């Protein structure tokens, strides 16, 4: 896999990001930490039609390596829908962190989208749509 103009790194040796998750029984909330994952690309490459899809794919693969995505279907969906389409130009789209997308609005971190999709997976059928509002 080529990593031209891409910087992907785990800063787990420096810090971790607290994440709300279900406890072992899947009943209530529990707190855990995940390594922060960052993938960045140059703005000019994004606008020139460069290999942004590859960077999105690398971000998803990184989430898999850390055990944050286990579903093959969620991998397929997250690799198909590029996160950069939902963040302002110039924003580092491939960082596993929530990002400001407007006045008093944020987009959730990629690992949160993966978690929600995996929890919904059994109920979503082909042809159905899901809208994520305020999660």
Catalytic residue at 44?
Answer: no
Distance CA 56, CA 64 (A): 13
Question: Within 10 A of 133 (CB to CB), how many other CB atoms are there?
Answer: 4
Q: What is the DSSP letter of 41?
A: -
Distance CA 3, CA 39 (A): 10
Catalytic residue among 3, 10, 108, 135: 108
For 48-62, give the DSSP string. TT-SHHHHHHHHHHH
Could you list the active site residues? 108
């Amino acid at each position: 896999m080529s990593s031209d103009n891409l910087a992907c790194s785990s800063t787990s040796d420096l810090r971790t990001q607290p994440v709300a998750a279900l406890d072992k029984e899947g009943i209530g909330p529990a707190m855990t930490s995940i390594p922060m994952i960052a993938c960045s690309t140059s703005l000019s490459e994004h606008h020139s039609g460069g290999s942004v899809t590859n960077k999105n794919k690398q971000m998803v693969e990184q989430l898999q390596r850390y055990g944050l995505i286990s579903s093959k279907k969620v991998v397929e969906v997250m690799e198909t829908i590029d996160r950069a389409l939902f963040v302002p130009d110039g924003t580092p789209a491939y960082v596993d962190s929530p990002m400001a997308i407007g006045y008093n609005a944020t987009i959730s971190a990629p690992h949160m989208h993966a978690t929600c999709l995996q929890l919904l997976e059994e109920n979503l059928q082909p042809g159905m749509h899901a809208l994520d509002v305020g999660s």
